[in-house]
Chain A
């Protein structure tokens, strides 16, 4: 129990968790890939579709105005969650990947020039590597990489040495999706600013698990994913400082991102609409708003504390298993992710055997192949927990891992 919250009761808000698939109980430990939505958000989406659907920012009719209000209410909730200075700084995207690409095109193509340098870390998800490689190719800039240390943290000293007056942008992950490592990003951001580089932080694995304060971090861009934050797929948010967003190129062109259009000249809308071309995923935004209300009610700090309990419980049990190796830092420096290898067993075989027991984890390179190369492993098996998980699910994970070892002994 954390703060006397009855987690067994809370779990009932997530019907999928106790659903049987093909008659089999599922133990869902793949929250890093995608987290589950609470029933309140699912009902909200359902009710919106049944009784409230309309396009937004357009019609003068009541249904459209109400939908617009519900949509914009989520933007206010996002602003509060990130502690952005204004709602204008919170742009809805189709996902964090789109958010990062928006910066690469909107900011990068305009302000990054031949000979400039972009720094990424060796811990990045492919979505925070490839857009920068593409940008480098377009403008003739070069990519530098902050190496990772053996303990699964970033080499800050090496990073400081990479920074110089040619460094124009630093892109870094807040929490590693592959290992769970929480990076001290404020330190990285401050150092980037000391050479006047802008900072782009991938916050996909952070927002669901810790308080984010973009003003305190002084981060320039911060990308999040709704479906990794107990919301729907197909939605992300890009936070950007207004002064930067205002001077950037638009990303996608179309309806909603303009003030007026003639064949001679088109006037762009103000932020955030400048970056929201076309009809957005309205129902996802409204559903995500309900998710954020749910988080507010439960308390992010309570959720994080519960996840820490689960992480410690799982780590204790798995550490006792001979031949099972946890990759990444200790529990004090990470979120509730356990990335592991089993001696003599390829992670895909682990995944198949665990699946036969109903244990859902992710196996593979986690879209972070450079990390796998760094540790000279092809892949890992990753269990990622959320506040709604229970100790009995971890017990089943351990039991299934024992079966893996028995089969391969």
Chain B
């Protein structure tokens, strides 16, 4: 399998082509816009949270195959889950994308059995972690979901400034 086939695994390509939970969710209790100003990838995550559970979640926006598949798989994994479990999953995903790919001493986070399973599914993104220029693509939707759950409406891969200065 060529390097590119490792990166663009069938699962990623399939989610890119047919993204799950794609579209606007109205009304919703939480939403956040995630944006990578360097490459233009832009997604909005919508969620209905009720009794500490993500009852429904959708996303819309545009970007590369990595970011779109990441958003699609993230929403599939998050739907119907407790907020605290999803927050743990976000941390685990971020860790997978940001720690050195050749780490052998196992995950630092103690994950619930459910999230252990989730992370096995999400391992298709491990190839992205080896490409510094693309890591932000995979993480962007997760940043946006994290912001939405915190009640923030904007997140950017370039800094945390909520107030965007305009001319």
Contacts and interface: CB of A to CB of B under 8 A. Distances in A.
B149 interface: no
Given A137-B167, A356-B3, A378-B62, A407 B13 contact: yes
Which of the listed residues A347, A349, A356, A403 has the most CB atoms from chain B within 10 Å of its own CB?
A349
Interface string B131-167: 1011001000000000000000000000000000001
Interface string A335-373: 000000000111111001100100000001100010010
Contacts of B13: 407-408
Contacts of A372: 40
Interface stretch (B63-71, B101-109, B114-122): B63-71
Which of the listed residues B3, B8, B39 has the most CB atoms from chain A within 10 Å of its own CB?
B39
Given A345-B65, A346-B65, A353 B4 contact: yes
Contact of B7 (A130, A352, A365, A408): A352
Contact of B64 (A134, A349, A407): A349
Nearest to B42: A378
A260 B62 CA distance: 57
Contacts of A364: 38-40
A379 interface: yes
Contacts of B3: 356
Interface residues of A, number: 22
B63 A346 contact: yes
B40 A407 contact: no
Given A365-B40, A378-B40, A346 B64 contact: yes
Nearest to A403: B4
Interface residue SS majority, chain A? helix
A369 B131 CA distance: 25
A378 B68 CA distance: 14
Given A364-B39, A408-B13, A348 B64 contact: yes
B167 A348 contact: no
Nearest to A351: B133
Nearest to A369: B40
A352 B133 contact: yes
A347 B40 CA distance: 11
Contacts of A356: 2-4
A347 B66 CA distance: 12
Interface string A127-138: 000100110010
Contacts of B41: 348
B67 to A, nearest CB: 8
Nearest to A353: B4
Given A346-B63, A346-B65, A407-B13, 8 more contacts: A130-B167, A133-B167, A137-B167, A344-B17, A347-B64, A352-B131, A365-B40, A407-B8
Interface of B: 2-5, 7-8, 13, 17, 38-41, 62-66, 68, 131, 133-134, 137, 167
Which 4 A/B pairs are nearest by Cβ-Cβ distance? A346-B64, A348-B64, A133-B167, A349-B65
